[in-house]
Chain A
Amino acid sequence: MLELQNLYFQVPSDTGATKEIIHDLSLTFDDHTFIAITGPNGGGKSTLAKLIMGIEKPTSGKILFNGQDITDLSITERANLGISFAFQQPVRFKGIKVKDLIALAAGKDVKNPNTCDYLSKVGLCARDYINRDIDASLSGGELKRIEIASIIARNTPLSVFDEPEAGIDLWSFNNLIKVFEEMHEGSDNSLIIISHQERILNIADEIVVVADGTVKARGRKDDILPELLKGTEGCRFYQ
């Protein structure tokens, strides 16, 4: 469903030289698959997610979605082809209500019962939230859950989550695991989740380790997790 071919992504550094964030990265994702991407901070994971959504454009390389070259397509065009993206730090809006965002995400005028379902899946009581502005009055954790609810509402063939667990408390985290399991099992959609959480890595079909801007390892959790759990010191992926 998604192919990343020899991606490079460079940015100008403070010294004026270029800094390479992604280096010759190639990956293929099959249909109906749940991939967890993990790796050290600064290794290029979030950039990779942004390249898939089109928020950043690669310096070179190609991205194919269901066989179509989407490298030069805009964010909007990719969204309409069926890619969703949950931000690591969700955006706040003055004057846009939770129900407005969910309706925009669902692409239609979502009536309360549906909005309620999406919000309750992420552990929020719809009655308390649908009419609230997505502004500074919401906590980071609430915002994060609303972001995830908007991705559930979109229900697209591919959803990319950038560290969905960040800022989520333990109780909600348990629910979050269920949400991802349901999203994966209840449809043919694919999930790519960037995460440092062992429990998320545990429920993924495959784990991809990204470090230094490229793929260091890929495999089933039984092969990858033991290496990761040895800790960073001495871990072959982190060297």
Chain B
Amino acid sequence: MDAIQKNLLEQVAGLHEMPSGAYNIRANGQSVARSTSAHIDIVTKEDKQGIDIIIKPGTKNESVHIPVELSQSGLTDIVYNDFYGGDDCNVTIIAGCGIHNGGDKDSKHDGIHSFFIGKNSHVKYVEKHYGSGDGKGERIMNPETVVELGENSFMEMETVQIKGVDSTKRKTSAKLADGAKLVVTEKLMTHGSQYAETSFHVDLDGEGSSANVISRSVARDDSKQFFFSKINGNNKCAGHSECDGIIMDNAKISALPEITANHLEASLIHEAAIGKIAGEQITKLMTLGLTEEEAEAQIINGFLK
């Protein structure tokens, strides 16, 4: 693995070396390293690109790393990763994709991740996207996440895309059974002429299920963002989505929330706020001795922290 590949891995998965526990590292369209544990198996799919990750019931405090990196310009990589989580598990899954494009052809990664989680499990899923390289070719990522949460299971999903991805269309859909809980935190920053689209579709099917979708984004320069969320309350449930966007320069952000209550006991809330950085926030930090630029950076770093 060369220096560029190592940097991509560090950016998306925080890895300096091979992780402990189960992992599968995919580089330029091929699996280059894999390890399984006594409780977590990783099997190559036979009908299409990708892997099945099978987590045995009762697996506690284990992690799975499945980073992907593309450093070969002009490559299109489509991969299907399916997670089968048993009952009573507690696992952390670190995914993520880094693209380095030093050439003139577009590099593209479409990762479709499906989670089939049993009962009473806790899954933390972290996904980071990162792009680098000064080639004219675009760095494109279109991740799709499909979640089916079993009774009383809890999934925390954190997605971060801060730098270097030219175009992204992110789709997340989830179905929740009785007592299941989903919390999604999205952090997004676009700059230059980037475009990012993110959409959530959550079906709160189970009694006592709940979902909280929180998106914080910053759009700078001439970039554009589109946020779409749809939460259907199909039972006694609680749903909340929140889109908070900061626009700078000539950027544009659209937010289109939709909440539908199909049950009398469904309680659904949507909040959306888009605007520039409040002038009084910059003024306050300037009274502490920061320059206008430092104040702006401090506010954005905090907002996306």
Contact = CB atoms under 8 A, between A and B. Distances in A.
A100 B302 contact: yes
A94 B290 contact: no
Contact of A76 (B278, B280, B290, B302): B290
A79 B287 contact: yes
A96 B302 contact: yes
Contacts of A107: 288-289
Contacts of B289: 76, 79-80, 104, 107
Given A93-B281, A94-B244, A76 B298 contact: no
Interface string A51-69: 0010100000000000000
Contacts of B244: 94
A84 B286 CA distance: 10
Interface of B: 216, 244, 278, 280-281, 283-292, 298-299, 301-305
Contacts of B292: 76
A104 B244 CA distance: 24
A84 B287 CA distance: 6
Contact of A95 (B290, B291, B303): B303
B305 A87 contact: no
A96 to B, nearest CB: 4
A53 B287 contact: yes
A55 B284 CA distance: 10
Main secondary structure of the interface of A (DSSP, over half): mixed
A162 to B, nearest CB: 11
A98 to B, nearest CB: 12
Given A91-B281, A93-B302, A95-B305, A104 B290 contact: yes
A75 interface: yes
Instruction: Point out which of B283, B287, B299, B302 has the most chain A C-beta atoms below 10 A from its C-beta.
Output: B287
Nearest to A100: B302
Contacts of A94: 216, 244, 302-303
A150 interface: yes
Contacts of B288: 79, 101, 104-105, 107, 150, 154
B286 A96 contact: no
Given A76-B290, A80-B289, 17 more contacts: A53-B287, A74-B286, A75-B286, A76-B289, A79-B286, A84-B287, A91-B283, A93-B299, A95-B303, A95-B305, A96-B302, A97-B302, A104-B288, A104-B290, A107-B289, A150-B288, A154-B288
Instruction: Give the residue among B216, B301, B302 with the most A Cβ atoms within 10 A.
Output: B302
A87 B283 CA distance: 10
Contacts of B284: 87, 90-91
Contacts of B285: 104
A114 to B, nearest CB: 16
A75 B283 contact: yes
Nearest to A147: B284
